[in-house]
Chain A
Amino acid sequence: MKSIRTYLLLALIAIITLVTFLSLLQGYQASIAKAQQLFDDRLQNMAAMIANANQDKNPHNVGTEKLSSTVFFQILTNDFLILASSNNATTPLLSTDNDGVIFGFKDINLNGYRWRVFILKDEHLNRWIITGERSDIRYILAENVVTASIIPIVLAIPFAAFIIWIAIGFGLKPLRELTSQLNNKQADDLSPILMANTPDELTSLLTSTNALLQRLNDAFVREQQFSADAAHELRTPISILKIQLHNLQNNEKISEAVLQPLANGIERMGLVIEQILSLYRHSPEQLLMKQSGIDLSAIVQSVIAKYYDQIAMKQQKISLIDDEVCLIKGNQFALETLLQNLISNANKYTPEHGEIQITLNDTTTGVRLIVEDSGPGIPKEQYERVFERFYRVNGDRHDSGILGCGLGLAIAKHIANLHKAKISLHTSTQLGGLKVVTDFPKR
């Protein structure tokens, strides 16, 4: 059922047509029968009037009365000789051949037509009086009368359809209002829907929709709370581990061989926790609330500045080539996370003395961000898979021996999607490693 309105209209019109047709059929038959009855009565009365008006006992006036060709009369003697008749019935219609004389109504053939006749026995003057009328004409007359009353009803159906269409539209108005209210809701707006006049049919729908929105809102608040609490509860112990590890590294009695795996473990745990938290943190609802015009170039600069220690440690060369202004609409915090993930990946997988280059182009279609490096790159057939959560190139036996948890690109893609940006992987022609291209739409 594509549209309730169309469905109701078609169903109602079909029902109206069917019922009208059946009642008209019935009415037609009844009307025709009634008309026949009336015509019969007229025929009978006519015979009676003739009997009273004409008292002749001898034949004369045979065929002198000029009547319309659709009716006739005849007066016969008891011996079936014509006393008087209309000009279209000059031969006696009754004879001795007739097996007994029939009174009343009879259908006969005369002059090539079918006639309805009435035979009256005038007992007083001992004669027969016959009146007749052409059957086909009677039917045409009756039909004309009946049809004239049917036509307006048939013509009224399209008009009824039009009125029904409008009436259904009016009846469905609350439903349309509810739909438009739901459509116009912002992604972060989980407030209940309020309607001025709710018909009974929509009350329970509205109640359950509002209950659903409420539950969604509660869940959303809980998730935010959880994310914030988890962040706080997990970051402090990891800080402690990191600081204690740093202190141990100054202790000459403990060998580096013992400390290094510990350091890696702590580093990795911290990384996974941060990444998981940031996956939760960047929900579409939160992002929509905090969007503003953002200079991508400024974000790239500050993220690199923050991350520079790691880059300097591997003595990598990093550069940014940008256009004057690279404004996009987005969420600053989310975009920082996106860049942090891309730059940290480039830093981790590019060997010492390698090169990382970031390019920002302000084009007519939007802003293009390119992060490329001189690392080993990613095989083409894995371009799709690396965006999956917890997927790492070559699995857990990651031959680069680099810490990671396989969430970086998943998060980058998640954030790009939230900004309606497209992220794609290529091989850098300039540096030979991985080239990550992110296209942000025009602001």
Chain B
Amino acid sequence: MKVLLIEDDVTLAQALMQSLKNEGFVVNHLTHGHHAIASIKTELPDSVILDLGLPDIDGTEVLKLIRKESADLPVLVLTARTSLNDKIKGLDLGADDYLAKPFEVAELMARLRVFERRASSLKHSGLRIGDVTIDSTSHQVSVTGNNIDFSRREFMLLKTLMENAGRVQTRDSLESKLYSWGEEVASNTIEVHIHHLRKKLPDNFIQTLRGIGYIVKPI
């Protein structure tokens, strides 16, 4: 996956590039917002890591310009400001994810992998974790090679959990996604869907954090 790193602190950028390369990412680094926009115009990367504090233009401005170029280019925002307002602002402007400095490298990699999986399920319509493979275009799920039928809602739920493998999906965030799919949500809707999903999936594929949410562990 090609990653564009927009970060003005060169020491940090160099260290991060090393880490990303070790993980098998291809990284380009730019220190200025204008250069980054120009670079995105000529060649679209697979994802962007954007620091909000840039020397020439504000990071949020860069984010707006990136969204003009591409609506679905995944952008991970890095910032040393951790106030909630910044967080909401960043996500409102179209950041896909948000990480506050100082962050764990493992955390950053996990989030980039979510981008990767999402991109893969979009582009190649396929996403595979362990014995489970989902196909976004045909809405098909196969478990150890056997196709199994899922309802639309169950499929969307499974897709969300698999794309975000390794990260807990809270009850609330899953519920709000069900709302956005235009469904009526009863208080135990998520539990019921997960119950049905589990019957068709390998044991422990979806793990429950009681009262909190669900997680699919990447393999």
Contact = CB atoms under 8 A, between A and B. Distances in A.
Given A228-B81, A238-B101, A324-B187, A308 B16 contact: no
A243 B101 CA distance: 11
A305 B170 CA distance: 7
7 closest A-B pairs by beta carbon, nearest first, are A320-B211, A319-B210, A305-B168, A301-B170, A246-B105, A243-B15, A333-B84
Contact of B53 (A232, A244, A309): A232
A250 interface: yes
Interface string B96-109: 00001111111100
Interface string B187-217: 1000000000000000000000111110100
Given A238-B102, A308-B215, A309-B107, A319 B12 contact: no
A250 B11 CA distance: 19
Interface of A: 228, 231-232, 235-236, 238-244, 246-247, 250, 270, 281, 295, 297-298, 300-302, 304-305, 308-309, 318-322, 324, 332-333, 336, 358
Contacts of A240: 9, 11-12, 15
A332 B84 contact: yes
A336 B87 CA distance: 13
Given A240-B15, A243-B19, A247-B19, A235 B168 contact: no
B57 interface: no
7 contacts: A228-B81, A232-B53, A243-B15, A243-B18, A301-B213, A302-B173, A305-B167
A430 B32 CA distance: 55
B117 to A, nearest CB: 17
Given A236-B9, A236-B12, A242 B209 contact: no
Q: How large is the interface on B (under 10, 10 to 19, 20 to 34, 35 or more residues)?
A: 35 or more
Given A238-B102, A321-B210, 14 more contacts: A231-B82, A232-B81, A235-B102, A238-B101, A239-B12, A242-B104, A243-B19, A281-B83, A295-B172, A308-B167, A319-B211, A320-B209, A320-B210, A336-B84
B180 interface: no
Contact of A304 (B9, B12, B19, B209): B209
A277 to B, nearest CB: 9
B101 A320 contact: no
B13 to A, nearest CB: 9
Contacts of B16: 243
B101 A236 contact: yes
Nearest to A251: B22
B60 to A, nearest CB: 15
A301 B12 contact: no
A324 B107 CA distance: 31
Interface string B49-90: 000010000000000000000000000000011111000000
A228 to B, nearest CB: 7
A242 B84 contact: no
A232 B80 contact: yes
Nearest to A269: B102
A319 B212 CA distance: 7
B103 A302 contact: no
